[in-house]
Amino acid sequence: MADIPKPVAELLEAALVGELTVVDGDGRPVTYPLIPLWDGEHVYMTSSILFSRKLEHIHGNAKVSVSITDPIAVGGRHDRALIQGDARVIDDDPHGGWERLLPIWEAKEPAIVAFLKVRVALPLFFERALIEVTPRRVLYWSDGDASTAPQETLVATGEAA
């Protein structure tokens, strides 16, 4: 298990949306709203190949961050978090490889299973890659207020840094 603060893990599990920020070829940040999926070790996100520019950026620079900021997307909680980490794009099988995350995706977006059954209507949307983020550093604002300094946690994982 990755050693991230419990409230941050709860935020990740609750959040319907988070912001993935990647670094483009010119060293500039690009932010994408995506559904964060937490398995206790990594933050996962999935991206359709249709919207794969973010995947290209990660291929060029693995350093990313995931922020959870929207109180509405976390059921009214006001705490906020930033997880910095190293991302890996898993696109060995864009057609079905991502489906291993379907159970935790469905928990946040139940309609996705119904959409998948009619993938003939949106075939390219269901050609997808996984983005696996290994947390390295976590910043946590317990009251969500940026005028107070965040709690910082350096994350120790079982993997080599």
Query: Could you list the residues that contact another protein (CB under 8 A)?
Result: 16-17, 19, 21-23, 27-31, 33, 48-53, 55-56, 61, 63-65, 67, 69-70, 72-73, 75, 80, 82, 84-85, 91, 94-95, 108-112, 119-125, 127, 136-137, 139, 141, 144, 146-150
Q: How far is the CB of 33 from another protein (least distance, A)?
A: 5
Nearest CB to another protein, comparing residues 53 and 100: 53
Q: How far is the CB of 38 from another protein (least distance, A)?
A: 17
Nearest CB to another protein, comparing residues 1 and 121: 121
How far is it, in rounded angstroms, from Cα 120 to Cα 132?
27
Nearest CB to another protein, comparing residues 38 and 79: 79
Burial of 16 (0-12, 13-18, 19+ CB in 10 A): middle
Largest CA distance in the chain: 50
How far is it, in rounded angstroms, from Cα 104 to Cα 55?
21
How far is it, in rounded angstroms, from Cα 73 to Cα 120?
30
